[in-house]
Every structure is written in C-alpha cells, then in structure tokens.
Chains A and B, each alone.
Chain A
C-alpha cells in the first residue's frame, strides 16, 4: 500500500489532497466534514476585512451534456469576521491535529496590516499561511489579489513583510494572469517565500445570455470578469506548474492547483513537480466524497507502478518538458488503423482530409447500412492510412471514438536523433520524411 503522507515545506498531512481556498473551506463545519471524508489538508477561504458579496456568483461552461467543464466565480474573499474564521481555524487544529490547516490571507498592502494579520493567524495554531496574490476579480480593483501578484516588486515586498513576523511556512499563491509566471515566482522566492501554490483562477467571461445580453453570472443584467477554473484549465495549470518547477531560480515546493478532478490529474501534477494537490471546483460539483477515489486511485496506481511514496515519482516528467528546439526531428511516426476495431464512422478521414494532412484514403461502404452491422459491407476497410503522406500528427488517433483502433507506430530509420539546433547548425542530417502532398494527388 503506497504511503501518501506528505511533508510540504514542513507542513505535514496524511495525503497530498488539500482543499483549495474557496467556498468549500468557508467554515469549520465544512472543513471538519472534509477531513472526516479523507482530505489531507485545507486552505481556509481567504481571510481579510469582511466583504459584501453579490448574489449570483458562479458561471458554468458546459461541454455538450457535461456540466461545469469550466467554471468561474465573481465571489470575493470571506464575508465572515476575521475573528470567527480564526476561532474556527483554532478549533479545527484542536480537533484535527494531524491534518494540514493553512490560512489564506489577503489584506491591504500595508506592512502593519500584514504583520498584525500574520501574527493573529499564527496564534490559531495554523500550519501555514497562503498569501492570496491571485484573485483576478473584485479584490484586484482594491489593490489586492492579482493586483499584487501581477507585479514582481509588490509580490516580493509583501512576502518580505510577512516573513518579517512569520513563524510558520509561507506559501505564495500565484496568478496565471501574467505574461511569464516565473517572474512572479522568482519575486516570491526573493521575498523568502517557503513555497508556491498555483494557479489561481484565470480572467474570464464564461458566456452571454442571448435573451438579455447579460454576461454570466448575471447580477441584475450585468456581470464582471471572473476567475475561471475547473477541468478546462488543467492544461494551463500543468504548463505553469512545470514552468515554475523547471525554473532553476525557484526550487521551492509547489502546491498545484487547477482543474484537478481525478487521481490521474493529481499524479500528472506530481510528476511535474507538485508537492501537494489542491482541489476546489470538483468538490463544488460533487462534494467532499470525491477524495475517496483520489486517494484510492492514486495509491492503486502507485502500487501497480511500484512507487512507495510520492517522492518516488515527483518531478519525474519535468526533465521531459524541453524546448521545441531540443525535440528529435528523426523520430518518425505513422498512424495505424486496426481494421477489426474500426466502426466506419469516417471521423478520422474528415479530420485528416480537412483538418490535417490528407493522409487517409476513403473507400465506399459495402452497403447502405440497415443491417445492424454499422453499414459494414463485404468490401473491406473504408479508411486506410496513406503511409507516404502521413506526418504522424496524432489527429486521427485523437478523433477516433474507439479505444486502441488508431495507434501511432514508430517508423524506425538509421539516422541518429537530430534536433533543430543540430540540424540548423549543419551538424546532423534529417532522415527522409513524408512530404505534405495535396489531397488532389490522391483523389484519383
């Protein structure tokens, strides 16, 4: 049985799954239930001077019949008094001493204000502090949240203030709404941050009501840009986590956030260097119970792979994230269709023909269907790869609706691996490769 215990910048938790700061961590009652359900830690809903929220706060992007593929919010930090939050954090730590409880903080950009807030927080027994430099909506208009996180100097300055009084680990939560996140990450490191967490939500408008022309989420017919999250943002988060994790000037622990909904997501973030995994939207969708499969799936996979601890594979994918110019140009692939599995939907053909490289040949179906056999006639395959035109782009295998029907096979050659730098410097040679023929050549 895999050991999922985590030590993140000195903060210990029974597993790497933390609730991200947000609506699920608003109260003692929620966090206690989450810990009972199996969550390893929780980052409290951001504490600061209480705010007033609007009604109608969340917007959803549905993909077909799938709800909340993407999600956004225009909710602000906690609307509960600082004192209440701190009291409940203390109560949580008393009742759940083995779990990680992190206080997310956001106060106005004044040294005294931060000092006071940090000291009061530490009195609760919280395990760490997360500085919310990321919220892109509302608070940023008041000079907080992403207004801080978008300026390296501000980021560094406030981290320095916090570290002047902090006795517990300080995590800086980064906004993705910047040109290059590593600048901000380095500024946090310069301010002596103990760890980073990323990504916060992405600036977004999730949709427009075509009857009222109000953007979602509508507040009396108007809206404001909100923070985008949910499964849709995972690829962006994976990239930014890897960019920060691979930055030699950073090298402090990273708590990954962004669209995590399954144990696979968690494993991928860990492989890209994440120390802990924070989840919010998936819990808002399905509740705390999802942690059961997060833990179960991750530990089953680790057992199968022979990983005893998270450290066994943490960051294992990082060396494989390289610059394009370092990729091997002599690694050749060709698509291969398993005709026994083909259901003859011809999606690969139309995708390749219109959307890629015209490398699939299409034959007439054997009959007009109506036989309950998918229209499959005696005539054999309806789609065939034109190997000499295939550029190995993957598209057909990605549109194919049948698992394992279209696979990408390596085409060996006798040429040594050659990247762009080596090729353009004239040091190495390219293996002969398929050319991009126009479909007209093949249509006869």
Chain B
C-alpha cells in the first residue's frame, strides 16, 4: 500500500524551486557590504550568545579584509559543524538576536549568511584548516556519528587521539543528513561537512548498533580510554489514539528522511495533509508537505497559537507557505477505511472530523531509555541524547566540551605518570 503522492502534480522545475535554498548564499559584494557593517564589538554579545562561542567579530573582520580562509578557520575551530549551523541554526534567537544593532533599531548583521560565505570557501575542498595531532597512544570510542559525536571526534583527533566512531545507520551525520528541512540544507552539504572531519583520520564504523551488535561492556572492554555517547533521541512519540496504525499515518522524521533520500516526486505525500504538533519539526513537515504539492497542509494543535514551541520565524515561514493552522484541536482518532480518510478532533465547539489522506505526527522524540549508559567515569555524553533534544549548535558545543573534558582527564593521567 503506497500513499498516493501529490508531488506528481508539480513539475520538476517547480519542485526544484520549492526546495531551493531558502537563504541563498551572499554574493561577494553583498558579503563585503555586510561584513563592513559589523561594528566589531569588543566582548561581543553574538559570541556570548553562540553555544560554541564562535568569535563572530573576528571572522567577520576577516571577511572584510578578504581573508576568507582565515574566517572559515575561526568558525570551524570553535564549531566543527559551522557549515550546517550557518544553514540551520536558529540565529534569530542566538547570535543575530544578540547583535547590538538590534538595539540601534536596525536589522542585525546577517551572521549566518556571512558564516556560510566564509565556510563555503572550504567545504568539500580539502583545505587543510586543521591537522591531526601527534599520536598520543590513547583511544576513544564515540557512539553516534551525529554533530555531537563528530565534534568530539574532531577535537580529539587534533590532540592526537585515535578515534573510532560507531554509527548504527549507513550514513554518518545523524539528523544533519536525514532530518534538516531540505530548503535549509541538503544531505550533500551535511556529508561533505562530515567528510572534512573524517579526513582528519577519524575511523568510522557504520552499521554497528551498540547494544545490539556489540554490548556496551564489550566496547568498554575493547581498550578504549574513554567513550562518548552521542546517539540522539529515539522514535517519534506516539499519539496514543485509535487509527494511528492506518496506512497514511507517518511520523515527521520518517517523512522528512524519505523526502531527503529520494527524488522529490517519489516522496509519498497526501493531497490533504494534517500535521500533529507545533514544534519546529512539525513546521518542517507541514511546509515540506506543502512544497511537495499537497493541496492543503495543516497543523493541528491541541493548544493555542501562543503555546506553540516552534520559533516564531518558523511559524511565519509556514504561514507564508500557505499552510493552515487549527488551534485548540485535540486529536481523538484517525478514521478511514483501510487508509487515512480524516482525523477526528475535539474542539471548543465540539467534535469535528478534518478530512485528510495523510497524517504526519510530530510530537517530539522519545528518550533513548532503552540505552542504559553505565555510570562510569570514562563515559561521557552529549547532544540530543543528553540534552533531551536541542539544536545542532548545542550538540556541537557539547561534543567539543566533552572532548576537552576527556583530554583533561587523560592528559592529567599522563601527568600522574600513568
């Protein structure tokens, strides 16, 4: 049983346009103008607002002087995922939100686009910005090849550790590869970014699920001096209502992964799509369903507009895309004869059935409770797995911090004559 794909009604050109870069790269002229608008603040609030504390004025100044490679190094030194953060970071509430120009009643500096301008010059071009450190004889295992794990891996390699990354999936990158809205970042960018890290000599072992193919104890017994766990979150939470297993019901992450791993017109999408939830992933789902060609694509949310957990600009984006919003609608059951035909919701005005042929659930991901990390002073954790689900930049920051703690611990042992 396949869901009929509404994408068939859109031309290839239209689909390409719909999934094109939502924030296209700056031209050289625009970047120069923007870089020269930066005040070059001392102790800059943008830097303070970034979880990885990229020295934003420093890299912008370098763009202004034409030192793009130097700018890219400043960014990637602090944040190994500077490429994806330039595309997918919620800068409105981070660096750009903190830009002092906001207080001068102006638009902030377009930091994300400047970051992309700088980092694009090195992405996938094998520019040796960093090198592996002299081998120090120590080994670290990293579970999960997402932004947290690979950030940790990158810095440990720079300090000379032998690093092995275990990844359950076939492709590295975690949600960067499979879960970012296509119009923000393509898998190609995510994989090129990962490759630059792997090129430092990080060993990647894909298709290995720790806890299934190899137990945690076996891993620890493998002679690693430390382990970092960055395995992300689990599956999307269930609605827990009747009809949830009807064909035509799909969770948002699966929907987005399908979209990103096959030609657009082969991505199953309904003509009338309902998305349950109001977080950022729900927005990614509702907009992309619309962009795939759904006639209607509607958020159904049990609470009100002000309660939505998505960022304001994401809400605005979905509205611009022509998506619908039904607030104070609590899903009661999904109805349909052999496949989804509608969703019954309880509204302040009574029970109502919203006709639809696809329901996308976006209720957040469950914690990886099945994965019990042993209490162990050599085991560290970060990213969504540890923080409950946040941004790429948080995962990168936590991976970098974990690398530092691991290094302090292991280098300290050297000092004690281990």
Which residues of A come within 8 Å of B, CB atoms?
64-66, 343-347, 349-350, 362, 365, 368-376, 401-402
One of B2-10, B40-48, B145-153 contacting the partner: B40-48
On chain B, the residues within 8 Å of A369 by CB distance are 45-46, 48-49, 94-95, 97-98
In chain B between 327 and 365, which residues have their CB closer than 8 angstroms to a CB of chain A?
none
Within the complex, what minimum Cβ distance (angstroms) separates A389 from chain B?
A: 18
14 contacts between A and B (CB under 8 A): A64-B36, A65-B35, A66-B36, A343-B103, A344-B45, A345-B39, A345-B42, A345-B100, A347-B39, A369-B49, A371-B98, A372-B92, A372-B93, A375-B48
Which residue from chain A places its CB closest to the CB of B103 in the assembled complex?
A374
Within the complex, what minimum Cβ distance (angstroms) separates A207 from chain B?
A: 13
In chain B between 374 and 403, which residues have their CB closer than 8 angstroms to a CB of chain A?
none
With A368-B48, A368-B49, A401-B39 known as contacts, the answer to whether A343 contacts B101 (CB < 8 A) is yes
B104 at interface by CB-CB < 8 Å: yes
On chain B, the residues within 8 Å of A64 by CB distance are 32, 35-36, 64
B121 at interface by CB-CB < 8 Å: no
**Of the residues B36, B40, B45, B95, contact of A347 by C-beta under 8 Å:** B40
Which residues of B come within 8 Å of A, CB atoms?
29, 32-33, 35-36, 39-46, 48-49, 64, 92-95, 97-104
Within the complex, what minimum Cβ distance (angstroms) separates B311 from chain A?
A: 12
With A345-B41, A347-B39 known as contacts, the answer to whether A372 contacts B32 (CB < 8 A) is no
**Of the residues A65, A343, A350, A371, contact of B100 by C-beta under 8 Å:** A343
* Complex Cα spacing A373 to B95, Å: 11
Docked-complex contact B46 and A346, CB < 8 angstroms:
no
Within the complex, what minimum Cβ distance (angstroms) separates A358 from chain B?
A: 14
On chain A, the residues within 8 Å of B95 by CB distance are 369-370
* Complex Cα spacing A372 to B104, Å: 11
On chain A, the residues within 8 Å of B64 by CB distance are 64
Docked-complex contact B40 and A374, CB < 8 angstroms:
no
Docked-complex contact B100 and A344, CB < 8 angstroms:
yes
On chain A, the residues within 8 Å of B40 by CB distance are 347
Within the complex, what minimum Cβ distance (angstroms) separates B19 from chain A?
A: 29
* Complex Cα spacing A362 to B36, Å: 25
On chain A, the residues within 8 Å of B33 by CB distance are 65
Docked-complex contact B48 and A65, CB < 8 angstroms:
no
On chain B, the residues within 8 Å of A362 by CB distance are 43
Given contacts A65-B29, A369-B97, 14 further A-B contacts (CB under 8 A): A64-B32, A64-B64, A344-B45, A344-B103, A345-B41, A345-B44, A370-B93, A372-B97, A374-B101, A374-B103, A375-B98, A375-B100, A376-B103, A401-B104
Docked-complex contact B49 and A375, CB < 8 angstroms:
yes
With A368-B48, A374-B45, A402-B104 known as contacts, the answer to whether A65 contacts B98 (CB < 8 A) is no
On chain A, the residues within 8 Å of B29 by CB distance are 65
* Complex Cα spacing A418 to B275, Å: 79
Which residue from chain A places its CB closest to the CB of B96 in the assembled complex?
A372
* Complex Cα spacing A403 to B43, Å: 21
Within the complex, what minimum Cβ distance (angstroms) separates B157 from chain A?
A: 29
Docked-complex contact A350 and B99, CB < 8 angstroms:
no
* Complex Cα spacing A349 to B42, Å: 8
On chain B, the residues within 8 Å of A370 by CB distance are 49, 93-95, 97-98
On chain B, the residues within 8 Å of A365 by CB distance are 43, 45, 48
* Complex Cα spacing A350 to B45, Å: 15
Within the complex, what minimum Cβ distance (angstroms) separates A70 from chain B?
A: 16
On chain B, the residues within 8 Å of A343 by CB distance are 100-101, 103-104
On chain B, the residues within 8 Å of A376 by CB distance are 103
